[in-house]
C-alpha cells in the first residue's frame, strides 16, 4: 500500500495551510459534516497560470466557465462579475446561466442532442456549436431566425472511448460530415464562426492538442471556411492529482509547450479573432475540498479501516480513478499504517482512499479530501443520505451557500401515497 503524505501530491506548504485554515473555520461555524468547501482563490491562481497562453498569442484567449464542472451559484455570480462567459451543455445549466444574469451572447451552448431541449428556451444571439446532422437539421431554422453565431464540433482521431480505445467517442461530426455541416450552414445564410473540438479530461500531452488542431484545420480548408474562433475545449490536467497507479496526470504537460502549439496553429487559421478554452477541471478542481468525520474504526489482518460520514458513493466519484491528497484535523504525526478510508454507505465500492495514514487518527477526527472542486457536486448522490452542505469562501469571508438536505427535503419529491381503498 503506497505511502502518500499530502506533500507527495505537490502542494506547497502554503496551499496545505490554506485548506487547513479554511476547513477549521468551516468547522467552527458548526456546519455538520460531510460538507463541501469551495474557495475562489485557487480559481484566481489557475487563471494566473493560464496567462502564459494569453501572453504567447497575438489573438485574445477567451476562458469559458464550464458550468457542468461546478454548477454552483456563487461561482457563476463571481465569474459574471469578472465579465467572463459561460459554457453550458444542458437545459438546466442554460437556465441557471440566464438566472444568474448572463446575457445570451455570453452563453456558449455545447453538448449532444441539443435539439431535444434548446427550442423550448432558445434566445436571440446565442453561440451554438452543433454536434450532429440531426441536431443541425432540427435547429437550423431557429439559428437563422434568432441570429445565432454557430460552430461545428469535429470528432478528431484523438477522441476515443477511454474504456475501449478502439471505439470513437459519441461526440461531434466525423471530419467529412463536419465539412458537409459547414457547407449547409453557409447555404442557409447562418452565421458560421467557430470550429470546435474537445479531447477529454486530464489530457496528458500537449502533442495531442497539436494533432487535433491540425485535423480541425484540414476540415476548415476542405470546407473553405475561415473561422473567427478556434474552440479547443478543455482537458488540461490540473496539478496535485494522480491516477490510481500513482502517476501525475500533468507529469508530461507544460503550458509553455501548449502555448507554442497554439501559436503555430494560428498559421492554419487566417482571420482567426479568438482562441476559446473550456478548462473546467483545471480551473476548479483545486478550488474545493470535501470534509468528513471519522465515525468508526476497525482493524483486521494488519489493515486499519476508517468509516466516515462521507465518501466515494455520495460525494467523490472521481476517487474511483484519481488519487487526491488527504489532510487530517487535528494534524497527526508519527508512524503511518496501511489504511482504507470508507464512506458510510453499504457499498464495498465506497472507498475514498487507500494508503498509509497516521496511526493516531481516531474516531471524531476530520479528514479533508483535496481537489474536490470539479465534478464532485454535480455527481453527488443521495444514496440513503441527503445532499451535503456547501460552504463558499470569497474575499476572506466564509458563508453557507447550500444547506445540507434534510429528511423532509429528501423524501418530499415522492409526495404522499394515496390511501389504499378496501374493495
Query: Where among 278, 300, 321 does a domain terminate?
Result: 278
Are both 271 and 327 inside the same structural domain?
no
Domain range for 390 is 6-39+286-403
Are both 308 and 253 inside the same structural domain?
no
Q: Are 94 and 71 contacting, i.e. CB atoms less than 8 angstroms apart?
A: no
Query: Where among 261, 278, 295 does a domain terminate?
Result: 278
Residue 417 within a domain: no
Are both 332 and 369 inside the same structural domain?
yes
CA angle, residues 193, 198, 199, in degrees to nearest 5: 150
Are both 119 and 264 inside the same structural domain?
yes
pLDDT for residue 163: 85
CATH number, domain with residue 100 = 3.20.20.10
Residue 176 within a domain: yes
Are both 126 and 35 inside the same structural domain?
no
**Cell numbers 502542494: residue:** 11
Residue 420 within a domain: no
Residue 412 within a domain: no
pLDDT, mean of residues 283-302: 97
Query: Where among 227, 253, 278 does a domain terminate?
Result: 278
pLDDT tens digit string along 172-217? 999 999 999 999 999 999 999 999 999 999 999 999 999 999 999 9
Residue 384 within a domain: yes
pLDDT tens digit string along 71-108? 999 999 999 999 999 999 999 999 999 999 999 999 99
C-alpha distance across the termini of the chain, in Å: 63
Are both 28 and 63 inside the same structural domain?
no
pLDDT for residue 275: 98
CATH number, domain with residue 357 = 2.40.37.10
Are both 91 and 63 inside the same structural domain?
yes
pLDDT for residue 422: 59
Are both 363 and 397 inside the same structural domain?
yes
Flag whether pLDDT at 423 surpasses 70. no
Q: Give dist(CA 276, CA 295) in Å, integer.
A: 46
pLDDT tens digit string along 323-345? 999 999 999 999 999 999 999 99
pLDDT, mean of residues 234-259: 95
pLDDT for residue 162: 83
Strand partners of residue 396: none
Residue 265 within a domain: yes
Are both 227 and 339 inside the same structural domain?
no
Are both 97 and 210 inside the same structural domain?
yes
Are both 188 and 261 inside the same structural domain?
yes
Q: Domain count of the chain? A: 2
Burial code of 140-173, b = ≥16 C-beta within 10 A, e = fewer? bebbeeeebbbbbbbbbebbbeeeeeeeeeebbb
Residue 418 within a domain: no
Residue 120 within a domain: yes
Are both 62 and 14 inside the same structural domain?
no
Nearest to 86 by CA among 72, 97, 100, 96: 97
Amino acid at each position: 500500500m503506497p505511502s502518500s503524505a499530502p506533500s507527495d501530491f505537490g502542494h506547497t506548504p502554503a496551499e496545505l495551510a490554506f485548506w487547513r485554515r479554511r476547513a477549521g473555520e468551516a468547522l467552527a461555524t458548526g456546519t455538520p459534516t460531510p460538507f463541501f468547501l469551495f474557495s475562489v482563490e485557487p480559481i484566481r491562481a489557475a487563471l494566473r497560470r493560464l496567462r502564459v497562453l494569453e501572453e504567447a498569442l497575438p489573438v485574445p484567449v477567451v476562458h469559458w466557465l464550464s458550468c457542468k464542472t461546478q454548477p454552483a451559484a456563487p461561482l457563476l455570480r463571481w465569474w459574471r462579475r469578472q465579465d467572463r462567459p459561460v459554457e453550458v451543455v444542458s437545459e438546466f445549466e442554460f437556465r441557471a446561466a440566464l438566472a444568474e444574469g448572463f446575457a445570451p451572447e455570453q452563453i456558449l451552448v455545447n453538448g449532444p442532442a441539443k435539439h431535444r431541449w434548446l427550442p423550448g428556451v432558445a434566445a436571440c444571439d446565442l453561440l451554438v456549436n452543433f454536434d450532429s446532422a440531426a441536431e443541425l437539421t432540427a435547429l437550423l431554422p431557429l439559428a437563422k431566425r434568432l441570429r445565432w453565431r454557430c460552430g461545428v464540433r469535429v470528432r478528431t482521431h484523438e477522441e476515443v472511448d477511454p474504456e475501449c480505445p478502439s471505439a470513437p467517442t459519441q461526440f461531434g461530426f466525423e471530419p467529412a460530415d463536419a465539412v458537409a455541416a459547414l457547407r449547409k450552414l453557409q447555404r442557409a445564410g447562418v452565421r458560421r464562426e467557430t470550429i470546435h473540438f474537445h479531447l477529454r479530461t486530464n489530457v496528458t500531452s500537449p502533442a495531442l492538442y497539436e494533432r487535433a488542431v491540425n485535423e480541425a484545420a484540414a476540415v476548415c480548408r476542405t470546407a473553405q471556411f475561415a473561422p473567427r474562433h478556434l474552440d479547443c475545449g478543455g482537458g488540461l490536467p490540473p496539478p496535485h492529482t494522480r491516477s490510481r497507479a500513482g502517476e501525475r496526470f500533468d507529469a508530461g504537460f507544460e503550458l509553455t509547450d501548449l502555448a507554442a502549439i497554439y501559436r503555430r496553429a494560428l498559421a492554419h487559421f487566417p482571420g482567426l479573432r479568438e482562441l476559446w478554452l473550456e478548462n473546467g477541471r483545471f480551473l476548479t478542481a483545486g478550488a474545493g475540498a470535501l470534509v468528513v468525520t471519522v465515525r468508526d474504526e476497525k482493524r483486521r489482518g494488519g489493515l486499519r479501516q476508517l468509516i466516515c460520514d462521507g465518501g466515494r458513493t455520495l460525494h467523490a466519484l472521481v476517487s474511483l480513478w484519481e488519487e487526491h491528497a488527504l489532510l487530517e484535523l487535528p494534524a497527526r504525526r508519527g508512524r503511518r499504517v496501511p489504511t482504507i478510508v470508507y464512506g458510510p454507505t453499504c457499498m464495498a465500492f465506497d472507498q475514498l482512499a487507500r494508503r498509509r495514514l497516521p496511526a493516531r487518527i481516531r474516531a471524531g477526527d476530520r479528514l479533508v479530501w483535496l481537489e474536490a472542486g470539479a465534478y464532485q457536486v454535480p455527481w453527488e448522490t443521495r444514496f440513503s443520505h441527503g445532499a451535503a452542505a456547501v460552504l463558499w469562501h470569497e474575499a476572506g469571508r466564509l458563508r453557507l451557500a447550500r444547506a445540507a438536505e434534510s429528511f423532509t427535503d429528501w423524501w418530499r419529491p415522492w409526495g404522499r401515497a394515496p390511501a389504499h381503498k378496501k374493495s
